[in-house]
Amino acid sequence: MLRREGLSKLTGRERYVDDLPLEDFLWGATVRSPSPRGRIAEIRFGGGVDWAEFVVVDHTDIPGRNAVYLMEYDQPALAPGYVRHVHEPVLLLAHPSRETLRRAIPEVEVVVDPDPPILDFRVVPGPEQIQYGSDNVLKRLEIKKGDVERALAEAPFVVEGVYETGAQEHVYLETQGMLAYLDGDVLVLHGSMQCPYYIVKALVPALDRPEELIRVIQAPTGGGFGGKEEFPSTLALHAALLALKSGKTVKVIYDRVEDMVATTKRHPARIRHRTGLDENGRLLAQDIEVILDGGAYVTLTPVVLSRAIIHAAGPYDCEHVRILGRAMFTNMVPFGAFRGFGNPQAHFAIERHMDVIAHRMGIDAIELRRINLIREGGTTATGQVIRDGVDRQAVLSRALELANFEKRRREHWVRNSEHRYLRRGIGAAMVYHGAGFTGSGEVVLASRLHVQGHPDGRVEVLAANIEMGQGTITIFTQIVADRLGYDPDDIVVAEPDTHRVPDSGPTVGSRTVMVVGRLLEVACDDLRRRTGLGAEARGAEVREAIVAWHIEHPEESLLGKARYEPPPGIEWDDEKYRGDAYGTFAWATQVADVEVDLRTYQVRVLDFVSVQEVGKVLNETLARGQIQGGVAQGVSWALLEECVWRDGAMENGQLTNYIIPTTCDLPPIRVEFMEVPYEFGAQGAKGIGELPLVGAAPAVLNAVAAATGREPAEIPLTPERLMVLLASDETRGGPE
Amino acid sequence: MSQRKTAGQGAAAEVLRISFTLNGVPATLEAPPSERLLDTLRYRLGLPGTKEGCAEGECGACTVLLDGLPVDSCLVPVYQVRGRRVETIEALDPADMAHYHARGTTQCGACTPGVVVTASWIVRHPELLETHSIRDLMAGNLCRCTGYDGIIEGVEDELEERGGTAGPGMHRS
Ligand code: FES
Ligand code: FES
């Protein structure tokens, strides 16, 4: 099926939040902290501005608890006299003219009495820098399997490595935006978002307002990638405060610079591996430490850390594993959800490390993976038994075959010895990614979903999951069409509106198709049953039964309902961090073929192959688009995207100097699927959205290592970093 | 904070009368001469199909055709379009979108109007492909969703249907 809203987007008719016609409204804007930490001594309103024209809101205008609630109450909606990161919101202004508002913002001076900030998560904070608990640790987690110390002591080979990844900005092409207005007593929030119910959850305590009087509606959303998971709650609160104070409709649209410098980003990470192996390359022990920069507030950091450590040992079976994770408080902008959610960092480290190990031991890097790849019946670091019928060796083989791995490698050796300044290399990464919420997360979420049969026979999907480009509307339509034998034109997917749709959970974690899509199937079955039909009834028969039901039950609504039930046999121990971390995993091998220019230190990706097993593929074009887009973000995280920080502030908050790839920076991305239907996903599907980003960076860096004979361990591998690396005389060592 | 401060206010900006051809139809409006064409289209003329992605000429989301050539409307002061032809996404024929639709050229849609306007320029000028690849010609439009393959393939198919010759752009790499 073609993307349902595709034509509307292609013709520019799709109406995003900033496109909606509005009359008599105010523009809202935010005054932010200039300083990473300190007490607000004074707020000065400059001359030359008629402040009487403005609506001004500060923390004393917050009716309830001053917090943006999701996991903790630690992040203020507006700084209450103390700031903990640069660009922290301090004041809100609104005015009918956007221009006047823009000119007024710099006329407000926030004077901060500075306290010593902590800006580097890798160093131990001094006593005067402690701001969270007794040690600035936001969250600590541990996974233990077997006896790592003993196994390491006995291992004939031990290889260590430290790997670092930088912050990454989402750069969804549509910046954050939100409208707030009162409809009678009901406060309406309408904007760009991934999780309408997260906004409700944040607004209830902060506004001290009952849930019934808050209505959140998702507008078409121009990309999210996790950046519109938790952040829009802050924006919604700000817009709401301005609307409540002014009694008017308020629109807040961030420009690109504000969006880049002030919103969440991917957590920077430092990951240390100490790995014990036998002579043949069999993994005996994996001792891993994962440290994340959490930034100034908790946001979703504990769950990002959780996903990072669960995946940190890679898709390998090792008897003795210890993974220590901690997320550190810093006075940096809060880091938050970003596609992959900790797993790209984890895989960058393990998959780079596998190549380092192979080289040190003189084993082929592919062979090293083959030996250790989880087999049917093998276990992950948390002790989850993998029995999914997926031939992981075949995934790996197919990717190598498509990429022409062996042939290219030999060609590169010859060419590299002859060419004056170009060096080519090919590298691979093997990855896995658990879809849906971690551990008991889905049980706690207890998602609910409805399908409504209308008097005219049409069926409507009532779910809180949103479309942001990944194809929710199309896939939901396909699932209903398939389940009920319906014509897609008779299927409506409701606009996510918390006064109409039940809470089917957030649109995150690759869960929409696998988890929510499955609920949709159950709800379709329930709808059919309520009309008195059996499970085999389809098409016109269902339609007629729905129409007949309405004639018999005038004025009533016909709802098929579903509520999340975990797949049988899933057990997770949240205390010990053991058991079935996810219902299932998707698997992939990604191969990058690169060329390094020794004159400019630029790395060009010549070819990229991604082969994945994601259960049943429901829509080839959409699935392929997810893979290609994810790979693109992973490749550019590896090579281009660098947040430049000074005193805790992002200095390059512009597309001019924060670089994302153009058409010319990427090769065609070649995609192939292997399909093993997953029994508990909609039509056999597993999650797909995050997986492709996970292995791209290590594949690219492994290729650079092959090309240059050095071991890059840090991304982004910008030309500057590569120059330093190549200038050092530390070669890969080990047998050539 | 409940008090509001008062101070002086700057003078009203001067406005200029500007006539041009918008999507084939004569248009006249009054606007401050330095207003961005992007804002004129979106907020003054009710044509919100043209998007803002960066406001500094990097992303191409705001692309329109000015006298037939793609420009970033965020960088064009509206006075510069006096007497000229402006074409926006709204002028393009939905019937011409089939290949883009089929190939997955759009995902979130935020870059899409700019992408499609640039694509419309390429497919009207197949001679460009004698010297440039489609990738070269599309390099002014950033897309964060697709990884670009869906865009490039959509343009290839559209060119092929229109009988475009296989220039270097037909070889993807
Ligand atoms: S908004 Fe004009 S180029 Fe980005
Ligand atoms: S489709 Fe989302 S940015 Fe291009």
Nearest to B8 among A50, A171, A656 (CB): A50
Please state, for a pLDDT cut of 70, what percent of chain B lies above it. 87
Confidence of residue B87 (pLDDT cuts 50, 70, 90): very high
CA separation, residue A62 to residues A58, A177, A241, A244, A334 (Å)? 8, 21, 7, 10, 21
A662 and chain B: CB distance < 8 Å anywhere?
Answer: yes
Residues flanking ligand 2, CB < 6 Å: A 173, 223, 469; B 106-112, 143-146
CB B111 less than 6 A from any atom of ligand 1:
no
A6-115+170-262 is a CATH 3.90.1170.50 domain: yes
What's the whole-number average pLDDT of chain A?
97
Nearest CB to A54; choose among B4, B61, B101:
B4
CA of A470 to the centre of ligand 2 (A): 10
Q: Is B123 a domain residue?
A: yes
Question: What Cα–Cα distance (Å) separates residue A335 from each residue in A290, A457, A709, B66, B82?
Answer: 16, 46, 34, 41, 47
Q: What is the pLDDT of residues B46-75, one digit of tens each?
A: 999 999 999 999 999 999 999 999 999 999
Whether residue A667 is preceded by a cis peptide bond, meaning omega within 30 degrees of 0, is no
> Given CA atoms A545, A547, A551, A553 in this order, what sign does their dihedral have?
positive
Q: What percent of chain A has pLDDT over 90?
A: 97
Q: Compute the nearest-CA separation of A206 from chain B (Å).
A: 17
Topology classification of domain A447-518+538-547+556-563: Aldehyde Oxidoreductase; domain 4 (3.30.365)
pLDDT band at A729 (very low <50, low <70, confident <90, very high): confident
* Residue numbers in B near A224 (CB within 8 A): 108
Residue B173 has pLDDT above 80, yes or no: no
A326 sits in which H/E element: strand A320-329
Span A258-265, mean pLDDT? 98
Over the stretch A408-440, which tens digit does the pLDDT of each residue have?
999 999 999 999 999 999 999 999 999 889 888
**Predicted confidence band at B164 (pLDDT cuts at 50, 70, 90)?**
low
DSSP-based three-state secondary structure for A519: helix
CA-nearest residue to B54 within chain A is: A256
Of B8, B136, B142, the CB nearest to A660: B142
Residue at a domain's end among B54, B70, B88:
B88
Nearest chain A Cα to B53, which residue?
A173
- Domain A269-437+577-727 in CATH 1.10.287.130? The answer is no
The total of structural domains in chain B comes to 2
Pairwise CA distance, residues A170 & A653, whole Å: 12
Residue numbers of the domain that contains B24: 16-88
Give mean pLDDT, residues A19-38: 97
Q: How does pLDDT run across A631-672, given as a tens digit for each residue?
A: 999 999 999 999 999 999 999 999 999 999 999 999 999 999
Give residue A676's Cα distance to chain centre.
25
Residues B125 and B155 in one domain: yes
Which tens digits make up the pLDDT trace of A325-381? 999 999 999 999 999 999 999 999 999 999 999 999 999 999 999 999 999 999 999
Share of chain A above pLDDT 70, in %: 99
Amino acid present at A160: E
Lowest mean pLDDT among A184-198, A357-371, A718-732, B63-77: A718-732
Whether residue B29 is found in the same domain as residue B83: yes
Rounded distance from Cα A568 to ligand 2 centre (Å): 38
Write the residue in A10, A222, A631 that is nearest to B101 by C-beta.
A10
- A42-70 residue pLDDT tens: 999 998 999 999 999 999 999 999 999 99
Q: What is the pLDDT of residue A549?
A: 98
Instruction: Tell me whether residue B171 is in a domain.
Output: no
Do B74 and B105 share a domain, yes or no?
Answer: no
Predicted pLDDT of residue A557: 97
Would you call B108 and A103 a contact, using CB atoms and an 8 Å cutoff? no
Position A189 scores a pLDDT of 98
Query: Has residue B166 been placed in a domain?
Result: no
Query: Both B67 and B82 in a single domain?
Result: yes
Q: Say whether A220 and B109 touch across the interface (CB within 8 A).
A: yes
Q: Is residue B4 part of a domain?
A: no
| pLDDT tens, position by position, B104-141 | 999 999 999 999 999 999 999 999 999 999 999 999 99
Task: Judge if B128 and B102 occupy the same domain.
Answer: yes
pLDDT value for A732: 77
Q: How far is CA A222 from CA A171, A238, A723, in A?
A: 10, 21, 37
Q: Which chain A positions have a beta carbon within 8 Å of B158's beta carbon?
A: none
CA B60–ligand 1 middle distance (angstroms): 5
- How distant is the Cα of B141 from the closest Cα of chain A, in angstroms? 7
For residues A494-515, average pLDDT: 95
Residue A733 — very low, low, confident or very high, per pLDDT cuts 50/70/90? low
Q: Report the CATH number at residue B23.
A: 3.10.20.30
Q: Answer whether B113 contacts ligand 1 (Cβ < 6 A).
A: no
Contacts of residue B148 in chain A, CB cutoff 8 Å? 628, 632, 663, 666
Name the A residues in 3-62 with CB < 8 Å from any B CB. Answer: 3, 5-16, 18-19, 21, 43, 45-54, 56-58, 60-61
ipTM over 0.90: yes
- pLDDT value of residue A731: 76
Over the stretch A83-102, which tens digit does the pLDDT of each residue have?
Answer: 999 999 999 999 999 999 99
Give per-residue pLDDT as tens, A90-141.
999 999 999 999 999 999 999 999 999 999 999 999 999 999 999 999 999 9
Domain presence at residue B131: yes
A639 Cβ contact list (under 8 Å, min separation 6): A603, A605, A700, A715, A716, A717, A718
In chain A, which residues have their Cβ closer than 8 Å to the Cβ of B109?
A: 5, 8-10, 14, 16, 220, 222, 469
- Among the three residues B41, B57, B88, which one is the final residue of a domain in this structure? B88
